Structure 1
Amino acid sequence: MNHAPASAAEPLLRIARQGPLTHLTLNRPARGNALSAALVAALAAAVEACHTDGTRLLAIEGAGKHFCTGFDLEDLEQESDDSLLARFVRVELLLQAVHAAPFVTVALVQGRAMGAGADLVAACARRWAAPGSSFAFPGAGFGLVLGTERLAALVGATCARSWIAGGGAIGSEDALRAGLVDAMVVPDARAAGLAALLEQACRLEASTQAAIHAAALGGSAGAAARAGQLADLVRSAARPGLKDRIAAYRAATRR
């Protein structure tokens, strides 16, 4: 069933700007903030705008109970292998834009962060979780390779392989111990935490901060790695039968 577009009063993505702090809120709470094509496009445009509007700290959170429950497959029957491939490529390009951003990024997680939602968390420089939140990386269950290298950089190759192969839920405490989460922050403490993080983010000139971030990502080697990550995704998603594999996975997980 198709849903009507969000009204001007209820956009898919809420954008709040307070000086050098930009706050993005995924605003599809009835769908667990699942990443529809329109929401991915809105996120990509907002992240791109942050490159030129003076943003020094970008905070991303979800409205309602969950951070983001992943790639929205509500209208799977209307998709084709090709349309799904295009959507997954746009998700990966969004994740790369967040990961390589020349400003500080922080994910503010509550509830579930699943699939592409968990990948969005892993793409951020800082990752705060509320107690009781959880993460899952189920994409390999239908043959998709998405975000593996970014996750492995945070938690190590062995842990990343285990989490991806298992596909199950990872609690916030386990995520903290492994390094996917770098701080446990209750929602009431977020404002104070963001103020402190913003002060830190603004300590250096923007150009210096951007150069340090680029160097930390490996410079030209990092760009080659991102190209490789995109190629890995395309190869996995372009294999014939993507839609059928996703449908079979959904049926199996609903049993």
Structure 2
Amino acid sequence: MSGPDLVAARDGAVLHLQLNRADKGNALSSTLVTALTDAVDKASQDANLRLLVISGAGRHFCTGFDLSDLDNETDDSLLSRFTRVELLLQAVHAAPFTTLALAHGRTTGAGADLFAACTERWIVGDASFTFPGAAFGLVLGTARLATLVGAPSAASWLQGGAVVDGATALVSGLATRQIESSALVAEQAALTARVSRLDGATQRAIHAAIDATRRPRGEAGDAEDLARLVRSAARPGLRDRIAAYRAAQRKR
């Protein structure tokens, strides 16, 4: 599957999905979220797939939820879009194979949540992470983040609006590795070899067993995450809160 916003490339047991909106910082438009969700859902049905890689074109991995057309949004349209983002994050988090996110540059909001939803989370070169959604009343990806970095760090980042640098992301567990861009091809090849060593059924079973040590991802856990997101986004005034947040950011 390829398109203007998402480029997909299959190489044997590896599927690489590249966010391809470099001029928009790879912000998550409705079209891009739909394309990503469709690609992840299709990949999850492929018994031969061992590794899904998600990267971003241009200077940044993903600058978050696309708000470039906020004037034409309503509270209801934003609620619908945020709900689709949460469902995408759940699909990535529940994928039955290894998922690898390659962050660089700015990794913001829903983009940072997409990074956090993956099994392997590599910083290529350097990256910074921010989680601004709480500033306009949104609860998105919070439980998954807390599982990775612990409740104190998650609370600090979400409530304080901190910019998390690459070193902090690595130490905290948000990122699993930090590598130079020159080493990416070799390191990705080594990961592919590792996840391809066993037969497909065994590899998926091991992946599921290891993932079971994380926060439960089944219907109950996913439903709780979705309910928290919907309750926060359905509170009247979402569009105005986002507009006020953006105005405050521009004054800084």
- TM-score, normalized by length of structure 2? 0.94
How many positions carry a matched residue from both structures?
248
Q: CA deviation at 1:10?
A: 6.5
CA contact (8 A) 1:68 1:117 kept: yes
Corresponding position of 1:23: 16
- SS of the residue corresponding to residue 30 of structure 1 reads helix
Q: How does 1:224-239 map to 2 (within 5 A)?
A: 224-239=220-235
Structure 1 unaligned blocks of 5 or more: 1-7
Q: CA deviation at 1:187?
A: 1.7
Corresponding position of 1:73: 67
Corresponding position of 1:11: 4
**Aligned letter for 1:139?**
G
Corresponding position of 1:247: 243
Structure 2: distance between partners of 1:44 and 1:203: 28
**Aligned letter for 2:83?**
V
Correspondence 1:52 to 2:48: no
Corresponding position of 1:179: 173
**Aligned letter for 2:237?**
G
Q: Kindly report structure 1 stretches of 4+ aligned residues shifted beyond 2 Å.
A: 203-222
Correspondence 1:129 to 2:127: no
Q: CA deviation at 1:221?
A: 4.6
**Aligned letter for 2:18?**
T
- TM-score, normalized by length of structure 1? 0.93
Q: CA deviation at 1:209?
A: 2.9
- SS of the residue corresponding to residue 222 of structure 1 reads coil
**Aligned letter for 2:166?**
S
Structure 2: distance between partners of 1:85 and 1:93: 12
Identity across the alignment (%): 58
Structure 2: distance between partners of 1:104 and 1:215: 13
- SS of the residue corresponding to residue 183 of structure 2 reads helix
Structure 2 unaligned blocks of 5 or more: none
Q: CA deviation at 1:218?
A: 3.9
